[in-house]
Chain A
């Protein structure tokens, strides 16, 4: 029993050491947590980078890139929200759109579709037009910041594709939205230095 636990903590240390070099955050944290209840607090390896050779550096950069691409994709596809019967870009939406601009600027091959949606309260037919206006507003925001309009398709679903169906402000506010979908190209260029 005692030996087994020591063996376990040893292997954890080894894993963490490898993880520190390879920097695979998806793998490393899970075993660490699993080992947390272990009675002997394993002497954690110093967090400072030990000697990291070229292969290690490459792997580290690759992991950082993967993470940066994930973050860029998330920024580009983050949903923005609107006020009732409005298509104005709110402050919150502005911040989210601003985060999309560098992703689109650095990845000129990427094309997106913006889908405008409304809550269930207005007239069904008018809401189709309102959804279109919301999608157009986001597109205009991006093209005003130098993104080629030919890369951005806009569509409207009106109130036809809600994310929730309760009749409450909490649900309505989640349905008054623009969704962003990548329809072509791949995000390859990302800013890793700033992270």
Chain B
């Protein structure tokens, strides 16, 4: 009964979201009638007006790129020189010009002493729809300044499309195919930054508030110990509770207090859980009876887990309750080989991304729906691995050999559009952060 009710609410929510889009699209339809070139069925057209001031051009470029990376807004570039700087209402209104260019909204950013004043214009209504002052750190183009500006982009995307953007996020990853180091990079590819001094790092995972990273380290005596890194300056701390043997693929539970990880000694590897910030015992989750059980990922409500298990004799994605009970296979014969691994549960709970192996040994990324088990293949070029969802449950970061050595790429799981994030090869095991500003 409760489940039915929840399902009904979910359906209602799904219906509501496209309804917002439909309103925007109605406006767009008019623009299309006057012959402008863009797809009205997907994205509202938004024009970012020229930004005055010393850093105006860089500021405008960042906002535009963030909108473009979000794949929910059609950024109208237009003729840069031809635009009046700001629309004026009334008899000599410029709004019809913007409408002609396909814009349903204008973003007008004006630098202030403490940051930015933002006005979003509704082109059809020919008026300012919303204003707000945002503060920015004082050092332009610094790491913090850019992240604050990404937060402005995400907020504006929410105003315009109803969905918050993913610009104010980062991606943790391993630089170096062997003996790699932990790095964090901004979602737009800026500031690849090393985290800590450990070599041999694998499998980074984010705290749900973005404050800590958890990862494993392969040492000279094999795999691995688990460490928690405090990004606010506390450094790395080894988790004593996990003990000896193999300890790998840690992930935070959505409550941020517990991690689940793989522990193995002599009889296969199983998932275990322990508390991170207070001392507590390690408790066993899966009962694999000598098989390999690894790479856990939580459902967003923290009640269920998906993981890779070799209990049928080959790697397959399984799903179970968070305490390990009721394990069932989730994936089936996707790909040419009996090899499916590395699940990542989407933040909206609807899909699990995973990789399946092909005859030539390469991996391709897929998503499987938890509602009807329908599978969608996302990649086909090169070998594509290590999927991690963005907070929008739409974009996925992954490693790929499609341009040669392993690099990180972002794919829009809805349109298939992708972009390359890193340029320095030998990169793997990415993990997308939660929203980092709010």
Are the CB atoms of A126 and B294 closer together than 8 Å? yes
Instruction: Specify which chain A residues have a CB less than 8 angstroms from the CB of B178 in the assembled complex.
Output: 160-162
Instruction: Specify which chain B residues have a CB less than 8 angstroms from the CB of A131 in the assembled complex.
Output: 223
Bitwise, B164-186 to A at CB < 8 A (1) or not (0) is 00000000000000110000000
Are the CB atoms of B363 and A132 closer together than 8 Å? no
Are the CB atoms of A125 and B294 closer together than 8 Å? yes
Bitwise, A132-174 to B at CB < 8 A (1) or not (0) is 1100100110000000010000111110111000000000000
Q: Smallest distance from the beta carbon of A131 to chain B beta carbons, Å?
A: 7
A55 within 8 A of B: no
B314 within 8 A of A: yes
A121 within 8 A of B: yes
Q: Smallest distance from the beta carbon of B379 to chain A beta carbons, Å?
A: 15
In the bound assembly, the distance between CA atoms of A162 and B218 in angstroms comes to: 14
Q: Kindly report which residue of chain B lies nearest to residue A123, judged by CB atoms.
A: B341
Bitwise, B204-221 to A at CB < 8 A (1) or not (0) is 000000000000001001
Instruction: Specify which chain A residues have a CB less than 8 angstroms from the CB of B295 in the assembled complex.
Output: 123, 125-126
Number of interface residues, chain B, beta carbon within 8 A: 40
A187 within 8 A of B: no
Q: Kindly report which residue of chain B lies nearest to residue A140, judged by CB atoms.
A: B266
Instruction: Specify which chain A residues have a CB less than 8 angstroms from the CB of B363 in the assembled complex.
Output: 123
A128 within 8 A of B: yes
Q: Kindly report which residue of chain B lies nearest to residue A183, judged by CB atoms.
A: B221
In the bound assembly, the distance between CA atoms of A113 and B221 in angstroms comes to: 9
In the bound assembly, the distance between CA atoms of A123 and B387 in angstroms comes to: 12
B202 within 8 A of A: yes
B274 within 8 A of A: no
Q: Smallest distance from the beta carbon of A184 to chain B beta carbons, Å?
A: 14
Bitwise, B351-390 to A at CB < 8 A (1) or not (0) is 0000101000101000000000000000000000110000
In the bound assembly, the distance between CA atoms of A161 and B179 in angstroms comes to: 9
B224 within 8 A of A: yes
Contact pick for B223, options A123, A139, A156, CB 8 Å: A156
Task: Name 10 extra pairs, CB < 8 A, besides A122-B339, A140-B266.
Answer: A121-B361, A125-B249, A128-B202, A129-B248, A129-B268, A129-B292, A133-B292, A158-B223, A160-B178, A161-B178
Closest 8 CB pairs of A and B: A155-B222, A129-B292, A123-B341, A129-B269, A132-B264, A128-B223, A136-B266, A132-B246
